[in-house]
């Protein structure tokens, strides 16, 4: 199905309504570090980002956010800035006075479900007054408890979590809303967005969709997961804006995301690995994700590239089959992109964890940048490495913290011990 959406403005950027698909990203700087955040915003705007999100934990960050935005405008850069807010409706309301768009998460907007309607009404009033858009950003790993009880941790649950909020937007005549349903599992992400597009059509809703595969990791695996999920939906006419989420510098997210556009299967012969990822996802990801392409009948390798050996291409194909959840032949890594809440070198840590655990086929390991959102967003990881801050780490088995306060320089080895002790 091709999804029709209405236009939502974030600052001057038109999202949906047939406007060009926009690429966005998120700063990984501390929002309180105004100079670093400003420099990163300028670099990202130059790289081609059309919208930038900043983590906005509380009143101090709202103030810093306003300064960053003002300094960008002073330099003639009018890129819209989005405040990413979790666990605090009052922070969302403060941010709505200074941001072009505010992201809220139904999984943590308000602990008290009976207050959601009243809080949203208040937020809509502020947004109307300040011409601020909203994103209702549902994550597979942090669904509201009543949704989990009724629908489980499923694509249906993600869709229902969004529809509950969208119904309130519709009833209160607040149209300035973009919606996202993200998962690190590409099949769930694709199913959830298709379901939402269908349900919205049935319900007479046409809110624009923001696409993303969350916590997809880094390097080729992270790129393949993001590309497989996002490109599959874009090819179906679903999606108005997207973020490639990588545990790398946000500039890399933009550089790689630009390769997705224009949305057409006609791609010239790849000359780099990144181009191969995109062209392979255009050609193969929809069928592999849906199971309409029987991967067992494909020749190996089933992609071509003049710069790679046959062995390298077979390795690439195995990564693509894992990204589309056809077959698991390697460990599965879930790692967040990092943001202003991250207080350690996440990229380097991911590299270390991968190196130490590369032999653990089929094991799902999460590496998350903060203790506030990390545990909730680890989805179905079997083990988790979560930064506490102050050089300490908590290790998880499933959703349960099993070792707290581990010094960071010992944490990778302790994680490996934990996993191996469970596998004996
Ligand atoms: S889990 Fe990662 S991206 Fe999400 S808030 Fe924490 S540090 Fe930021």
Does 2 score more than 80 pLDDT?
Answer: no
Beta-carbon count within 10 A of 69 CB: 24
Ligand 1 surroundings by CB, under 6 angstroms: 336-339, 341-342, 368-370, 373-374, 377
Atom of ligand 1 nearest to the CA of 339: 8
> The pTM is what?
0.95
Ligand 1 center from residue 373 Cα (angstroms): 6
Ligand 1 center from residue 230 Cα (angstroms): 21
Give 74-103 pLDDT, tens digit per residue.
999 999 999 999 999 999 999 999 999 999
Residue 98: which of 65, 123, 73 has the closest Cα?
A: 65
Ligand 1 center from residue 225 Cα (angstroms): 18
pLDDT value of residue 246: 95
Mean pLDDT, residues 40-63: 98
- Beta strands in 227-349, from DSSP E residues, in sequence order: 241-243, 332-335
pLDDT value of residue 1: 66
Does 398 score more than 70 pLDDT?
Answer: yes
SS3 138: strand
Location of structure tokens 């306003």:
66
Ligand 1 center from residue 126 Cα (angstroms): 27
Mean pLDDT, residues 337-364: 92
CATH label, 332-423, candidates 3.50.50.60, 3.80.10.10, 3.30.230.10, 3.30.413.10: 3.30.413.10
What span, in angstroms and rounded, lies between the C-alpha atoms of 224 and 186? 10
Mean pLDDT, residues 119-141: 97
State the average pLDDT for the chain: 95
CA distances from 58 to 55, 93, 374 (A): 9, 11, 18
pLDDT value of residue 264: 86
Q: Which residues pair with 182 in a beta bridge?
A: 139
What span, in angstroms and rounded, lies between the C-alpha atoms of 424 and 410? 22
Can you give the residue ranges of every domain in the chain? 8-261, 268-326, 332-423
DSSP state of 80: -
Atom of ligand 1 nearest to the CA of 28: 8
Give 311-331 pLDDT, tens digit per residue.
999 999 999 999 999 999 999
Task: Tell me, yes or no, if the two domains 8-261 and 332-423 fold the same way.
Answer: no
CATH of domain 8-261: 3.20.20.20
Mean pLDDT, residues 58-72: 98
pLDDT value of residue 51: 98
Atom of ligand 1 nearest to the CA of 337: 3
């Amino acid at each position: 199905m091709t999804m029709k959406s209405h236009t939502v403005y974030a600052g001057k950027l038109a999202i949906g309504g047939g406007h060009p698909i926009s690429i966005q990203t998120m700063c990984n700087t501390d929002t309180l570090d105004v100079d670093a955040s400003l420099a990163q915003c300028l670099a990202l705007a130059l790289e081609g980002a059309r919208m930038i999100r900043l983590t906005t934990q509380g009143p101090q960050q709202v103030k810093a956010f306003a300064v960053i935005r003002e300094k960008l405008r002073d330099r003639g850069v009018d890129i819209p800035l989005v405040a990413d807010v979790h666990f605090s409706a009052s922070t969302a309301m403060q941010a709505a006075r200074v941001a072009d768009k505010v992201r809220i998460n139904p999984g943590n907007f308000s602990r008290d479900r009976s207050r959601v309607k009243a809080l949203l009404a208040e937020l809509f009033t502020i947004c109307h007054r300040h011409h601020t858009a909203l994103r209702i950003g549902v994550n597979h790993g942090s669904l509201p408890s009543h949704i989990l009880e009724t629908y489980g941790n499923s694509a249906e649950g993600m869709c229902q979590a969004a529809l509950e909020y969208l119904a309130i937007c519709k009833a209160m005549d607040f149209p300035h809303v973009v919606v996202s349903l993200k998962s690190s599992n590409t099949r769930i992400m694709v199913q959830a967005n298709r379901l939402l597009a269908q349900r919205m059509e049935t319900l007479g809703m046409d809110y624009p969709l923001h696409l993303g595969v969350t916590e997809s990791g880094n390097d080729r695996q992270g790129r393949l997961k993001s590309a497989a999920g996002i490109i599959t939906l874009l090819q179906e006419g679903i999606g108005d804006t997207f973020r490639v989420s990588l545990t790398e510098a946000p500039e890399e997210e933009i550089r790689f995301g630009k390769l997705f556009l224009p949305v057409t299967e006609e791609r010239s012969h790849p000359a780099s690995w990144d181009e191969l990822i995109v062209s392979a996802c255009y050609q193969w990801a929809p069928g592999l994700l849906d199971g309409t392409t029987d991967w067992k009948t494909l020749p190996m390798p089933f992609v071509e590239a003049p710069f790679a050996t046959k062995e390298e291409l077979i390795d690439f194909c195995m990564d693509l089959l894992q990204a589309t959840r056809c077959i698991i032949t390697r460990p599965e890594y879930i790692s967040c992109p990092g943001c202003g809440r991250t207080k350690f070198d996440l990229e380097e840590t991911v590299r270390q964890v991968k190196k130490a655990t590369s032999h653990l086929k089929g094991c799902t390991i999460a590496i998350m940048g903060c203790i506030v959102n990390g545990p909730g967003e680890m989805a179905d990881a079997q083990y988790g490495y979560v930064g506490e801050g102050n050089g300490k780490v908590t290790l998880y088995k499933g959703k349960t913290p099993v070792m707290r306060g581990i010094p960071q320089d010992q944490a990778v080895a302790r994680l490996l011990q934990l996993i191996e002790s469970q596998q004996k």
